[in-house]
A and B are shown apart, each in its own frame.
Chain A
Amino acid sequence: AQKVTQAQTEISVVEKEDVTLDCVYETRDTTYYLFWYKQPPSGELVFLIRRNSFDEQNEISGRYSWNFQKSTSSFNFTITASQVVDSAVYFCALRNSWGKLQFGAGTQVVVTP
């Protein structure tokens, strides 16, 4: 069975601080895909990144960076120099070769000025 754990329910930071969101996953598949989605207060789920199980290269996109480590089954997400607009719920998700996503419970990020 697949499982995604986001142990942090809520993280509060002051603007310009860095914030790291943890994601730990479980799967028996050798090929799988990991995702991060952002849900701002407006409610929609916004796709941020997809990572394949055979590609452990970390990725940086602007103020966002992702650290994928198969050895610890983790796919952590860091926001550098946080801004108020980063306030949202962030979901980590796992998918096998095709089909449904298995989501974590989400982490609420609150960035205050």
Chain B
Amino acid sequence: EAGVTQFPSHSVIEKGQTVTLRCDPISGHDNLYWYRRVMGKEIKFLLHFVKESKQDESGMPNNRFLAERTGGTYSTLKVQPAELEDSGVYFCASSQDGQELETQYFGPGTRLLVL
């Protein structure tokens, strides 16, 4: 069974540009999460989808970040316009259901560098 996949693995853009990150969860997983780790800091939660609905977006830093999950399958996270402080590693995770015993499985991350 394929794990969580993320694309691209790396992205280097200039300040002010737009970048779109993609996450494909494990097949059949209704729950999809986005996290990020800014250099030297902790891994921080961004948002949580249940199927195509946003269950919790309390971690989204500002309105330059837009996440979508059309059809309840893959998800995209768009940063527009990107700022220097957006640099970091963006992780996606998925889980089968929202039950108490859920375990989130993570993808390899997308390393974003904003110059």
Contacts and interface: CB of A to CB of B under 8 A. Distances in A.
Interface of A: 31, 33, 35, 37, 42-47, 50, 52, 91, 97-106
B33 A100 contact: yes
B55 interface: yes
A48 to B, nearest CB: 10
Contacts, number: 56
A56 B106 CA distance: 26
A91 B106 CA distance: 13
B108 A42 contact: yes
Contacts of B101: 50, 52
A99 B48 contact: yes
A14 B54 CA distance: 46
A49 to B, nearest CB: 9
Main SS class of interface, A: loop
Contact of A31 (B33, B45, B100, B109): B100
Given A97-B100, A98-B98, A99-B55, A45 B106 contact: yes
Contacts of A43: 89, 108-109, 111
B100 A101 contact: no
A46 B106 CA distance: 7
Nearest to B33: A100
Interface in B20-70: 33, 35, 41-45, 48, 55-56, 59
Nearest to B40: A105
B114 to A, nearest CB: 19
B42 A103 contact: yes
Contacts of B105: 47
